[in-house]
Amino acid sequence: MASLADIGTQDTVVEVGPGRGMLTRVLLKYASEVIAIEKDDKLFEQLGVGLRDYSNLQLIHQDILESDLGQIIPDGAKLVSNLPYNIATQLIMRLVDHAGRITSVVVMIQKEVGQRICAHVGDKTYSLLSVIVAAGFDASPGFIVGPNNFFPQPKVDSQVIKLISKSSPIPHSDMEVFWRVVAKAFGQRRKTLRNTLSQLPSMDDEALGKLSSYAGIDLGQRPQEITPDQYHLFSKGYEALLKGRS
């Protein structure tokens, strides 16, 4: 994972959920600084003792899901973590808002989630998660890790993925309406966009036709056939519509 993240001597690395510190020790060998964030009381105490000789370690006792990511992740940092399955999706979605500040993300997560994140338009696994992550990152799949590599063993495979921040991520100010549009579209993924997007507040047939034409969307298509850029164009137009009618 450290190799895939291309950790160098000038890098600041953030690790979420270091556990017993196996990956942490590897990161500490290569990075200028490692910021390790651990929620568990016992593990935090053990890490403080076991890694006390590393001067380039900052150990934080905190729940990452309750943290201000703008404060805890420095600009230009790389995030490298073996993420707990139960927080992976929520954390990665939150990281999208910080894509402009983060250099890259390399994480091990549940294989099914990794496939959805890395899916492209038209793929069976292309989903709301694929589109939201693509708002800030270019995602690529890494290697698969079987259950026998863990104790206790999970019931599913894990996958390492890499997210590289886009040079021009969708601005934070656009994300609320973007989220709303994409969620509405994928809320009924078997229905056509004419049926789903028409349910957006303040939407009428005329506006729907104009916005879909502007975004290059065929309303007879289904949500998995639309690119993140098309969703963004549609959401920008929809936002203008809402402001004009407020």
- What pLDDT does residue 150 have? 76
Cα–chain-centroid distance for residue 71? 18
- Token couple for 144: 């698969």
The reply to whether 72 and 117 lie within a common domain is yes
- What pLDDT does residue 244 have? 83
Determine contact, residues 189/198, Cβ cutoff 8 Å: no
**Residue 97 sits in which domain range?**
2-165
The reply to whether 61 and 151 lie within a common domain is yes
H/E segment holding residue 163: strand 158-165
The reply to whether 71 and 48 lie within a common domain is yes
The reply to whether 109 and 204 lie within a common domain is no
The reply to whether 155 and 204 lie within a common domain is no
Determine contact, residues 103/131, Cβ cutoff 8 Å: no
Stretches in the chain below the pLDDT threshold 70: 246
The total of structural domains in the chain comes to 2
Q: Domain of 112: which CATH number? A: 3.40.50.150
- Token couple for 158: 């894990």
The reply to whether 33 and 133 lie within a common domain is yes
- What pLDDT does residue 153 have? 80
- What pLDDT does residue 246 have? 61
DSSP 154: P
Picking from 94, 134, 97, the residue whose alpha carbon sits closest to that of residue 118 is 134
The reply to whether 108 and 177 lie within a common domain is no
The reply to whether 203 and 98 lie within a common domain is no
The reply to whether 224 and 155 lie within a common domain is no
- What pLDDT does residue 154 have? 81
The reply to whether 228 and 140 lie within a common domain is no
Q: In the listed set 124, 150, 165, which residue is the last one of a domain according to the structure?
A: 165
The reply to whether 127 and 152 lie within a common domain is yes
- What pLDDT does residue 148 have? 84
The owner of tokens 């016992």 is 42
d(CA 242, CA 246): 6
- What pLDDT does residue 64 have? 97
- What pLDDT does residue 216 have? 97
Alpha helices in 76-166 (DSSP H): 85-96, 111-118, 128-134
The owner of tokens 């203008």 is 240
The owner of tokens 């450290």 is 2
